[in-house]
Structure 1
Amino acid sequence: MVERAPFLNGAYGAYHHRGLPAEDQEMTRVGPDTPCGEYLRRFWQPVILATELGDLPRRVRILGEDLIAFRDKSGAFGLVEPYCPHRGTSLEYGLIGENGIRCPYHGWLFNVDGRILETPGEPADSTLKDRLCHGAYPVHEHAGLVFAYMGPPDKKPAFPVFDTYDLSGYQLIARAPTLWPCNWLQVKENSMDPAHVAFLHTLPGSDGFSEDFKELAEWDWMETPVGMVYIDTRRYDDKVWVRVADFMLPNIHQFPPNQDPVALRNTLNRPQATTWAVPLDDTHTMQIGYYRAPVGKDPARGTVFGQDGNRPYEERQRVPGDWDAQVSIHDGMARHGLEHLASTDRGIIMMRNMIRRGIRAVGAGEDLGYPILNNGAALPTYSHDRVIPGIAPAATPEADRQLLREVARNVVAEAVKTGLAEA
């Protein structure tokens, strides 16, 4: 049960509102043996770019655990506990060999799976290396990202491959991670909040939508086999533009492009990005994933406007972006007991309920029925946008809004039923 702050219904009432309710620990704490941490550990999580692993190991922090990532000279990737089981020296100073990583202190050699290959200095007949293993997690490299599975070994799923990984005419490009100094949930909730686009991204000087977006947009949310979508629908004369963004459980989102004007849209467009919000710990989150670019064209480089805190503080005050809005929520840790959710937050409520059900299922020892855990290849997803011609306006504004919702829901239902053709 989320602790609630008093509901203020009078002016100048801050005196009655001074205490902070506790955070929603069930959903925000991610370390070992926490409810949400154990839930997130049931899935493959991206932890580092493959290009970051050269001739030196890298210390990383994922789900509240400090770990050492490396690639040995045979090309195998490893993710191991940081401290050598012999005397505790950190393997961030380890020596990368043809097979595995060697402790610099006394030369013990560890394979990527944690097996001890050599214990120099021990008697030739020592069986210590055959009886002892170092802690390691399974890893998998895909298209430039190194993923790790950090859950129970007997629950390890096949590595999931989404249908958007191999789109005809497009290349999949690993994106450099960005660090967000806040809890993972408030980063991920942004993906199911289309209302913020109509306000945050239309401030003076931003590169977002025009101001009339607020009047023209109709928002809706639907569950899908892999999670849920938000649907952003707008009318342009007798055309209806339907834009669908995915949330894939537990912490992934996809969104379609929005740069081209409606007049130039005549095909179905699949997502321009797939992004994970990976908790490093309770108050730091890494956004990492893939971009898509047409084959033969250089992808966009650099950080999109408002996606980091590198601009001067006064400039961010005048024209805030996603980073400023999300990181500033209660200084990095949302207090749900202080929120007053409204009609535009239906997607946030739906998303939290989905995640909470999953957390409680894991806590109860139940198997999660998620397709991402049961189908390793060509997992269908639903993010796309399309323009549908020949939809005349209804007789009244309210009737037209209802018409837009019906058109959009039919688009998503058809996508779920039949799948999506490639762009």
Structure 2
Amino acid sequence: MTVKPSHPSVDFDVQRVRADFPLLSRTVHGKPLVYFDNANTSQKPRQVIEAVDDHYRKHNANVARAVHLLGEEATAAYENARDRLAAFINAGSRNEVVLTSGTTQSMNLVAYSYALPRLKPGDAIVTTVMEHHANIVPWQLVAARTGAIVKAAPIDQNGELIVEKFFELLTPDVKLACVAHVSNVLGTVNPVREIARECRKRGIPLVVDGSQALPHRPVDVQAIGCDFYAFTGHKVLAPTGTGGLWAKREHLQAMPPFFGGGEMIREVRFDGTTFAEPPHKFEAGTPNIAGFAGIGAAIDYYQSIGFEAIRAWEYELLTYATERLREIPGVRIYGEAKEKEPVISFLVEGAQAMDMATLLDLEGVAVRSGHHCAHPLMQFYGVPATLRASLAFYNTREEVDAFIAALLKVRKLLM
């Protein structure tokens, strides 16, 4: 990442925003909380919390199974989430959005409903070294069952995908390509439009993991040109256990169901079952209805602020935090891509990541330590783990200062 000099604060009323997030006002171990673990899960504004509370207080019922008013209201809230998500990512149709528990379920849906029936010995799936395990393990599982193989495109030391090498791997045996829009460890933004264009030239469907992109930038799946786009609700201010999969209509029509059960059928007979039309044929069982009511409120919240303001503020925070970290002797930052989102993975020479995170927590600072569900990436850099500070638009420069002060204190204790 090329870090520009710090500039005066953008016109962003972060204190007004923070007032909407109840958890940000709490203390941890007697210290004001500094929450820098947003790539793991975002905090929730009161508007989302109130939407979930309102559902359980006033509208609690199951979806699509009752003609009474509560059932109609629950169904309306659930389907409204589909409408809102479809508009949020610019899907061509609401029926291209399957509601899931998050990216992991979405990836497994593609793996078992799309890839598994099509793979055979000698086929290949291409992914990259920087992927989250959710964009590696499902492909390994279906490859093992079919005789296919998984190939990984390399990255450089700056944490950028070597795009030419990715394209070289797109040989005629490749039946699926998979890439993160944004790396959860490095913050690297991958050129997904360019990758999608090259995949289309070769007739290779592309799956994009959008978990880390959706919280920070507007996403237009039609403009990207991919075949599948997976995302997670709890990283975009919404409740846990929510998310979705966007897929081209023709893929959803051709894919068999992954889960069987109630609500995904037209008629069940012992001599054969007929299934509902997409997306409902992929939504067996009772979903997290209250959680999806919260997604609508989360999207409203993003739109009330606007991504232009969010991106400007987060860029300022990323720039400032990166500059401050570089002032600390012995700090190595992993991920210096030219374009990245507000995620900083780093290590301090002579200190273990877990020890640092534990002591930072005692100072009220919440960061992530470990392999971040990215073992191959850790192996590439030759480290078992890193510390990861991931920022959001409700964080402040003062929190960055508190984080740096805590880090200096902890470093002194461990040296």
What is the TM-score when the length of structure 1 is the normalising length? Answer: 0.26
Higher relative contact order (CA 8 A, sep 6+): 2
What is the TM-score when the length of structure 2 is the normalising length? Answer: 0.27
Larger helix proportion, structure 1 or 2?
2
CA radius of gyration, larger in: 1
Larger strand proportion, structure 1 or 2?
1
